[in-house]
Structure 1
Amino acid sequence: MSRRHQVVYLAAAWCLSYPDEELIGQVPLMRAALTEFPGALDDFDEVLAQLESRPPIEVQGTYVREFDLGKRHALHLSYWTDGDTRRRGEVLGHFKQAYRQSDILVDTHGELPDYLPMVLEYAARVDMSAGRGLLIQYRASLEMLRLGLLRDGLPHARILQAVCSTLPGKSPTDEQAVMRMAGYGPPTEAVGLDPYDPRLLPVKGT
């Protein structure tokens, strides 16, 4: 897989993580790496500009409000498919198993193994094939998150679009199109109550 994918995945992992001082200090590195590839910086520029220009306490507060205090922008991929149901434990075990098959020990830092920044960093730094396979498998979750961020006017939506653009097929335009992509009709229940299961998504060739 291309170095461009590695750079996009790692930059996305950092931009979707809690913006502590260490991460904010990586902004010049992200800019330099993304600039290597035509157009790659465009999808990240607004988020990076906020990290550079706003006080850390302000960007941290925004992050907590948008990503930690509610489920509208949940960064755990299996939340979108299994919610807080019992079967989610089996799904999380699937992520752990993927990590165990790598030659490098993956430290989850106390996070659930389906945490999107962790999956992206795993793909970029440890096993591109396995990590990208997880992203393809949970493509519908990525698209639901992207649409939620877009609906709420958050610049992170473009970062999700950058990630989705590395995967097979075009991004759906709305939630019902996500359901059709996943092979299901329009959802009749809330998120986490069987609207669709992206594990059933066909894996198309690149």
Structure 2
Amino acid sequence: MLIFKAFSALLSYPSEEMRQALPEIAEVVRASPLVGAHEREKLLALIDEIGEGNLLAAEERYVDLFDRGRALSLHLFEHLHGDGRDRGTAMVELKALYAAAGFELNSSELPDYLPVVLEYLSQRDMAEARDMLADCAHIVRSIARSLIARQSSYSAVPQALLVIAGEKPVDTAGVKPVAEQPETLDRDWAERPAFADAATPGGGSTM
């Protein structure tokens, strides 16, 4: 499913090659029956933003969001386990799931990196994709909420993923905008028990 490949690209570090592919990514977004009108509008706005200015400006926007705090981390198990030992066990289980499906990691990224997960889902059927997205919806929702709080156009991707998973997207009206640094978002994230009911590794869920 090309739409998951498009989402993977949009959440990846904005290389020049990726920016050159933005028109093609936009066409995939426009054509996908999985993307509703509201989500499509937001995604196309994100695509326009990624393509704005020079490459350095796009890279700086990305780093300022995703590389400076845990609340905005795209590594899913970091939200569940932090740097604890259970994260390593979950990584092994997820990598084994990929291997069983014939999906090989061809980069230095960890298996729980959301763009990698989406690349995997682009090669699977819709039932499996929806199940896996629903399984990690609590994490995707937290990322979406943090991005909305930063008033970032990148929130369009996790919001669209929630809809595809059959979940309600985050109500933007209920999220207070913040201008603080990501460390403040990390504190807020840590204080809110958003994942108290998350499945644990070995309990029938990899997320």
Which bin holds the TM-score, normalised by the shorter protein?
0.7 to 0.9
1:119 is displaced (CA, Å) by 0.4
1:126 is displaced (CA, Å) by 4.8
Task: State the secondary structure of the residue aligned to 1:110.
Answer: coil
**TM-score normalised by length of structure 1:** 0.77
Contact 1:9-1:120 at 8 Å conserved across structures: yes
Aligned with 2:26 (options 5, 28, 31): 31
1:190 partner amino acid: A
**TM-score normalised by length of structure 2:** 0.77
Rounded Cα–Cα distance in structure 2 between residues aligned with 1:64 and 1:117: 15
Rounded Cα–Cα distance in structure 2 between residues aligned with 1:190 and 1:79: 12
Residues 34-77 of structure 1: CA distance to partner in whole angstroms, max 9, x if unpaired?
22246253131122111222211100011112112322310011
Structure-to-structure mapping, 1:109-128, within 5 angstroms: 109-126=107-124, 128=126
| Structure 2 unaligned regions, length at least 5 | 176-188
1:26 partner amino acid: A
Rounded Cα–Cα distance in structure 1 between residues aligned with 2:118 and 2:6: 9
Task: State the secondary structure of the residue aligned to 2:71.
Answer: coil
2:5 partner amino acid: L
Q: What is the Cα-based RMSD across aligned positions, in Å?
A: 2.7
1:193 is displaced (CA, Å) by 8.8
Aligned with 2:3 (options 5, 8, 19): 8
Given the alignment of the two structures, is residue 64 of structure 1 paired with residue 70 of structure 2, yes or no?
no
Task: State the secondary structure of the residue aligned to 1:78.
Answer: helix
Structure-to-structure mapping, 1:152-167, within 5 angstroms: 152-167=150-165
1:118 partner amino acid: V
Aligned length: 182
Structure-to-structure mapping, 1:156-195, within 5 angstroms: 156-171=154-169, 173=171, 190=190, 195=195
Rounded Cα–Cα distance in structure 2 between residues aligned with 1:135 and 1:162: 11
1:195 is displaced (CA, Å) by 4.6
What is residue 184 of structure 1 aligned with on the other side?
none
1:130 is displaced (CA, Å) by 4.2
2:25 partner amino acid: M
With over 3 angstroms needed to count, the CA separation of the structure-2 counterparts of 1:34 and 1:169, relative to structure 1, is: closer
Deviates more, 1:109-118 or 1:60-69: 60-69
Contact 1:80-1:192 at 8 Å conserved across structures: no
1:138 partner amino acid: C
Task: State the secondary structure of the residue aligned to 1:171.
Answer: coil
Task: State the secondary structure of the residue aligned to 2:23.
Answer: helix
Deviates more, 1:34-43 or 1:87-96: 34-43
With over 3 angstroms needed to count, the CA separation of the structure-2 counterparts of 1:120 and 1:98, relative to structure 1, is: same
Identity across matched positions, percent = 24
| Structure 1 unaligned regions, length at least 5 | 1-5, 176-188
What is residue 134 of structure 1 aligned with on the other side?
132
Task: State the secondary structure of the residue aligned to 1:44.
Answer: helix
What is residue 181 of structure 2 aligned with on the other side?
none
With over 3 angstroms needed to count, the CA separation of the structure-2 counterparts of 1:9 and 1:113, relative to structure 1, is: same
Higher helix share: 2
With over 3 angstroms needed to count, the CA separation of the structure-2 counterparts of 1:102 and 1:128, relative to structure 1, is: farther
